[in-house]
Amino acid sequence: MEIRTYRASSMQEAMEIIRRELGPDAAILHAREVRRTRFFGLLPGIRQIEVTASCGVNVPSRLKPAKANASFDGERTAVTQAIATEPPVPAHRAAPTDAFSSRWSREIAGKLNDLHGMLQELCQRSRLGHMAELPESLFRVFTDLIEADVPEELARELVETLRSQATGPELQDPKLLRTQLCRLLEEGIKTTGPITIEPGRRRLVALVGPTGVGKTTTIAKLAAHYRLRERRNVGLVTADTYRIAAVEQLRTYAEIIDLPMYVVATPREMRETVRRLEHLDLVFMDTAGRSPRDEIKLQELKALITEARADEVHLVLSAPAAPKTLQLIAQQFAGVGPTALILTKLDEANTLGHLLPLVRNSPLPLSYLTTGQNVPDDIEVADAARFTRLLLGWEPLRRR
């Protein structure tokens, strides 16, 4: 039996190392939060996660508390004394020159400033509190969230909330605890349901977003669904004149599905085209991809949508994108006036837990999810319960 101990900056990183070196069947024997000391043990260093694992045993795992600092008061006193007391210069050392003395003073001042900053950080961390020792059932929930790529800070928050809400029987029953976790996550996910069509009134739906997120393919899926399955009169409008391939791609879909399609380049053309399509039930508007940092192009996009008098504006984001990138895009496109959120390419992401902060913090409700390239099959109306299970990896992407 081989037992190894690993240290990493986060639980996710530690588990990746364990899986890589010991295999997917390795058992976690022990986990705790540690710090390496600096300045001769006077100050805590970088926070790390220490995990002991083995590939030869299968025993329960337990996460030690994320200790803020057990000996905080003693360390603060030691640091204060170190700052206040300057070490004496040995007698045999020659007196420094004025230039050397000045440089020495600057170095000391810099080190004192560093120590002061570290002390403030230590004080801040001490106020954050710590997680008490987790029951085995909650620890398994925590590791499930980390495995799903949920950010560690959010995973801790969810586990603490779950511990405060769950009853005794739920804490003892893994199935009940999983149900409670799903319910907790579902409460933070907003959805809109499908696009609804009112009798006698045309509805115009625009899709916006950065380049490469799959807006054109998503429009083709939606148009095919409403034309072939819902038997609605559907039209297409594209303002993506920057990419010839995009126009030809949408034109090909329009010919296959037998839909009218128009290409517009200016707000005036948009206004005239929308008037021609007044008799239809539903019109989908494709737009050119815009960089979230290009304010001018975003304003042009907003002008087109205003002229079209869109009833719905769906912001399209790609699931494999980094969490910070998704947050930035959502913030920058807010000025365009989106009313809902579509997540595409779920099949291209290794895990989906990183999407949880986006859907919890964004004011936009989820409308649709796409899970592949097949038109019109690989698209579905967003459902909070199913999306939660997808995030946790508890349900396959494609329904049978």
> What does the pLDDT look like over 241-278, one tens digit per residue?
666 677 888 888 888 989 999 998 888 899 999 999 99
Distances (CA, A) of 150 to 87, 351, 395: 47, 9, 16
Higher pLDDT, 209 or 289: 209
Average pLDDT score over residue span 191-202: 92
pLDDT confidence band for 296 (50 / 70 / 90): confident
The residue type found at 296 is I
The pLDDT, as a whole number, for residue 165 is 83
Average pLDDT score over residue span 360-366: 94
Q: What is the dihedral of CA 316, 321, 323, 325, to 10 degrees?
A: -70
pLDDT at 304 over 70: yes
pLDDT confidence band for 312 (50 / 70 / 90): very high
How many percent of the chain have pLDDT more than 70?
74
Distances (CA, A) of 334 to 90, 197, 211, 315, 337: 64, 25, 16, 9, 6
Kindly report the backbone phi and psi dihedral angles of residue 54, in degrees, each rounded to the nearest multiple of 5, phi listed first.
Answer: -150, 150
The pLDDT, as a whole number, for residue 35 is 66
The pLDDT, as a whole number, for residue 109 is 67
Higher pLDDT, 3 or 186: 186
pLDDT confidence band for 126 (50 / 70 / 90): very low
- What six digits make up the tokens of 223? 């148009």
Higher pLDDT, 386 or 248: 386
pLDDT at 30 over 80: no
pLDDT at 144 over 60: yes
pLDDT at 66 over 60: no
- What six digits make up the tokens of 385? 């319960």
Average pLDDT score over residue span 98-111: 62
Higher pLDDT, 318 or 243: 318
The pLDDT, as a whole number, for residue 106 is 65
The whole-chain average pLDDT of the chain stands at 80
The pLDDT, as a whole number, for residue 242 is 66
- Taking phi first (over 0 means left), then psi (-120 to 50 degrees means alpha), and beta for anything else, what does residue 134 get? beta
pTM, whole model, 2 decimals? 0.68
pLDDT confidence band for 36 (50 / 70 / 90): low
Distances (CA, A) of 182 to 162, 388, 392: 10, 6, 9
Of 8-17, 113-122, 169-178, which gets the smallest average pLDDT?
A: 113-122
What is the spatial distance between Cα 155 and Cα 172, in angstroms, rounded to a whole number? 20
